[in-house]
Amino acid sequence: MPTVNIQGIPVFYAQRPGDQCNLVFVHGAGGNHRIWLRQLNSLRQVNAYALDLPGHGQSGRQGRRTISEYSEFVIAFLDALKIEQAVIGGHSMGGAISLDLALRYPRRVAGLVLVCTGARLRVNPLILNGLREDFQGTVNLIGQFAYGPDAPPEAVRLGQEQMLDTLPEVLYHDFAACDAFDVLDRLAEIHCPTLVISATADRLTPLKYGTYLQEHISGAQLTVIEGAGHMVMLERPAQVTQAIQDFLTALQAPHVGQA
């Protein structure tokens, strides 16, 4: 897997080259690029990337403490790879990062793919306190809420492995950053094409979160995945990939009347 030096640390990422638009996938709290591999390997013609945020996967060991700091890191990633503009796809915390990017760096964002996320991401105090006091037990608790009833065991195993591989301090600050995130009143400022993907069995960012995004971001589309939980890209990879592919295909189609 290639690496690039950003802010003094080696950043690992996966890439599937393509000759059309740039797409950068951003994982959620305690995750890494591997949650996006099914999408990365299946999308057609897209120049797609999935990175490990700092403190996650193989990118250093020190994370960031706010959504804005992670957003600035993603911009640094784009700069390092000389990507002027990209569609940003984010899951959960990665969705918060994506929204922050669209608000703070609109010229760098060609579109948004927001997967099981929300404009505000309050975190139960039991999780925040538990990550300090009982890391293993709290990760197990998160896992009980993160998947739908029919989630493949391999998907559950991968998600749990990723969280347990994250340093407790990094995972705590990921969830604290989510808890502090709130752009409920700013969604009307986002004007780029947007796809929202939500799941009916998501207990961490329920369907109403996705509906709110769709209703308050101008022109946003909503795709609902029946029966899946919060880790929908692992639970229903083919459906998620197809929704993203359709969105990107429409995004790149010439407008009516355009030569």
User: Positive or negative, the Cα torsion across 109, 112, 113, 114?
Assistant: positive
Question: Which residue has 């990507």 as its token pair?
Answer: 83
Going by C-alpha positions, the residue among 250, 246, 228, 236 that lies closest to residue 147 is: 228
* Residue 259 belongs to some domain of the structure: no
The single-letter DSSP state of residue 106 is G
Residues 27-37: tens digit of each pLDDT: 999 999 999 99
* Residue 51 belongs to some domain of the structure: yes
* Residue 257 belongs to some domain of the structure: no
Written as six digits, the tokens of 233 are 């890209």
Cα-Cα end-to-end distance for the chain: 40
* Residue 115 belongs to some domain of the structure: yes
Segments forming the whole domain that contains residue 151: 3-252
Q: Which residues contact 93 (CB under 8 A, 6 or more apart)?
A: 27, 28, 29, 67, 70, 117, 121, 174, 177, 178
* Residue 258 belongs to some domain of the structure: no
| Residues with pLDDT less than 70, the chain | 1, 254-259
Going by C-alpha positions, the residue among 107, 89, 116, 77 that lies closest to residue 205 is: 116
* Residue 94 belongs to some domain of the structure: yes
How many residues would you count in the chain? 259
List the CATH number of the domain containing 11.
Answer: 3.40.50.1820
Residues 30-83: tens digit of each pLDDT: 999 999 999 999 998 899 999 999 999 888 778 899 999 999 999 999 999 999
Q: Contact, 230 vs 241, CB < 8 A? A: no
* Residue 165 belongs to some domain of the structure: yes
Q: Measured over all CA atoms, what is the biggest interatomic distance in the chain, rounded to whole angstroms?
A: 62
pLDDT given at position 259: 35
pLDDT given at position 164: 87
* Residue 241 belongs to some domain of the structure: yes
Domain count, the chain: 1
